[in-house]
Amino acid sequence: MNLINSELQGFVTGYHDNMRRKHLVSLVVLIFLTWNILMYYFLVSKNPTKNENRVLVSDKLRWLQNDIEKQLRDNEKLLEDLRQIKDDTVKKEKANKLKTHGVEDTDPATHKIAVLMFSCDRTTVSRSLDSLLKIRPKGDRFPIVVSQDCGHKPTSDVIQTYVKKEKGLVTHIKHPNLTDINLPSPKKKFKGYYKIARHYKWALDQIFHKFNYTAVIIVEDDLEYSPDFFEYFSATYRILKADPTLWCVSAWNDNGKSGMVSDDPELLYRSDFFPGLGWMLEKHVWLELSPKWPDSFWDDWMRHPDQRKNRVCIRPEICRTSTFGKKGVSKGLFYDKHLKFIKLNEKPIDFTKKDLTYLIKENYDPTFHKTVYETPLASVTDVITLRKRSLPALRVQYSSKEEFKSAAKQLKIMEDFKAGVPRVAYHGVVSFMRSGQRIYLAPPEGWTGYDTSWT
């Protein structure tokens, strides 16, 4: 029995050993076959086509690059289409808005506006002409007419060099009346102002009657100009034509000294005060003014209610002109203390691409009043000591001529009035900057008009 068991165990053991050997052999055979197949693949299939494989990879990379470039082109086209759709939408909305406010939806580039430069005996007229010609757009949209008084030959010779060089785009006209003006003794010191008024009348009559222009930008021979001077007047011309409450556009801010203006060159305002120093008017306004033009002090005359008739001007926050004319009829009055500190804008703005309909009275007034009279009240002392420095804007109130002049003097802005109107004021409000803070020097809410006795 033991023998049988022993043999049976040996058989079973042998059977298992035999099976293990067969499995091992099978495994070895499988590994061998696998190895040979792999070797065949690598040695037979791969090596002979290694170059082909490189070509295949290169082709795939090239295809991928082409696909990426195509996708980029498609994306760029899509973006361009979206931009065009956006531009078309903006233009359509702007056109509708312009139409709503009676503004002609015409290309500003089609407007022809003359530039009339007044000169006398300054050979430095070349400085002003150079500044103007440097920024003038190409073409004949802004023909320059230099009108000379005084009969000063050296100045005439300088102007003539520009007439020859610019070939029809600069015209030189000469005031024919050089006779002296006889005045009584108290007025003799103002003779220069009488001659200027006489010259203005003659030259503007020439512009609108002889040359038949419909609008003019009036400048003088001691001005320099910002790079967007023409852009500014091109854009505001349409607003001037559309709004009957406007009668001029000016490049000037009487309180436009450095430190007293915002850094934002886009800001434009309505102003009851006629600023001058680079300003535009239309023919119909001149036809109204010409028959009653004054003998002297024409600018103050224009500021009188009989001429202004509650009409206003557009003015910028930052001036588009500056003056280098220290010597002149005014004998340098205000130049050293004020005019030479005026800031000239240096950041050109594409005003013709902006929506300026906010300057139309019906749009401007509600926003202006809300902005001013929702601004917190403060005293002059609060402003000077920066007591409320954390606030972006403050309103200082005045109720009398004396209060205005006192506040203006302390805040270092222009103190004077013309026919009761403070410089740059709109509805009695004078807006300016001080220490980076917007200040409104304003009458009490409910302002009803200017007092012409405030002079």
User: What residues are annotated to the active site?
Assistant: 299
Structure tokens at 6: 């022993």
The two three-digit tokens of residue 228, written as one number: 């967007």
Q: List, in order, residues 6 or more apart from 272 with CB less than 8 Å away.
A: 308, 312, 421, 425, 426, 427, 450
Query: For residues 23, 29, 33 and 35, what is the CA-based torsion angle, rounded to 10 degrees?
Result: 90
| Sequence letter at residue 102 | G
Closest by Cα among 257, 262, 254 to 279: 254
Widest pairwise Cα distance in the chain: 166
Residue 404 to residue 263: CA distance in whole angstroms: 26
Distances (CA, A) of 370 to 80, 177, 182, 364, 377: 40, 52, 53, 10, 14
Cα(339)–Cα(323) distance, integer angstroms: 7
- Is the Cβ–Cβ distance between 205 and 290 less than 8 Å? yes
Question: Which amino acid, residue 352?
Answer: T
